Amino acid sequence: MSKSVSVLKIVLPLLLGVALVWYALTDVPLSKIIDYWKSADKTWIIFGAILGLLSHLSRAYRWRFQLEPLGYDVKLGNSIMAVFATYLINYTIPRAGEIARVSILTNYEGVPFEKGFGTIVAERIADMIVFLGIIVITLFLQFEFIYAFLTERFNPIKIAIALSAFLLVFIIVFRIIKNSSSKWAIKIRDFINGVIEGALSIFKMKKKWAFIFHTLFIWGMYVLMFYFTSFSIEETRNIPFAAVLIGFISASFSIAATNGGIGSFPVAVFAAFSIFGIAKDPSYAFGWIMWASQTFMIIIFGGLSLIYLPIYNRKVKEV
């Protein structure tokens, strides 16, 4: 059963990605996407890719803050190449990149696997907190617009009932887990406590403010990368910043749906931009350009990282 589940975890995202690629290119032909690419301002695309590159470099530098209290002074080169390898490998097998990232430090820096993996869990918690913050800020700034959009398409009473039902179920489940002595309830409580402990551990590290700065910088670069790349297409050049934020949030969720957002990224961008009345063709075109530029950058630097890692570490040992 476990092997079947593992296979499904690998195959299903790939199949979903292929299906969404087919759907997106059926909705807007590839020839139109190519036309938009030809007429796009490549300067903004390159600038967006540079911002994405800076976010990845910052992530690699931030990782060292977490490893230092554990007693490991990891070389920046290994940290950078491990991060790029992570993103590249995640395009093949979902979340396999994180395993590879830790394994690289285990092989070349002697960091125990479980400790390295723990630091990644902690940084994901920090990333999740910032991402949720972006969602809250977006909802706060655009509450009236989003509320009007939802009420136009959905019955407000039904929305209120659904939210109330969700809250009621959450409270019931929470109380059951809190008071139950069953094995699964204990495991869930331990997991939640571990997540909370991991999040709070960020504030206990020596360079916590540097860690927080880099976390905010990483996500700031993500948003700006999305924003400035929108300047590359004439039809998306003057879209409201609210559309950029909602498009960014939607696209971020799409990356978790398929390997690296294959197929799902442009569909998610179109779904978000359509709320603001932005035409279908440029929305899809921007989604494809945004995804392709970042993917190309990951393929280049991720591939070079995998090739150069053994060479780099052999040279370090010789010195």
Asked if residues 96 and 90 have their Cβ atoms less than 8 Å apart, the reply is: yes
Structure tokens at 55: 């976010």
Range of the domain at 146: 2-318
Of 125, 77, 65, 126, the C-alpha closest to 105 is: 77
Indicate the pTM of the whole model: 0.81
- The domain total for the chain is 1
Amino acid 83: pLDDT: 94
Separation of alpha carbons 50 and 287, rounded Å: 17
Amino acid 5: pLDDT: 47
Given a cut of 70, the residues of the chain with pLDDT beneath it are 1-18, 20-25, 27, 94, 145-156, 159, 191, 193-203, 318-319
Amino acid 18: pLDDT: 64
Amino acid 205: pLDDT: 76
Residue 74 CB coordination number (10 Å):
21
Structure tokens at 299: 């393929």
Amino acid 28: pLDDT: 78
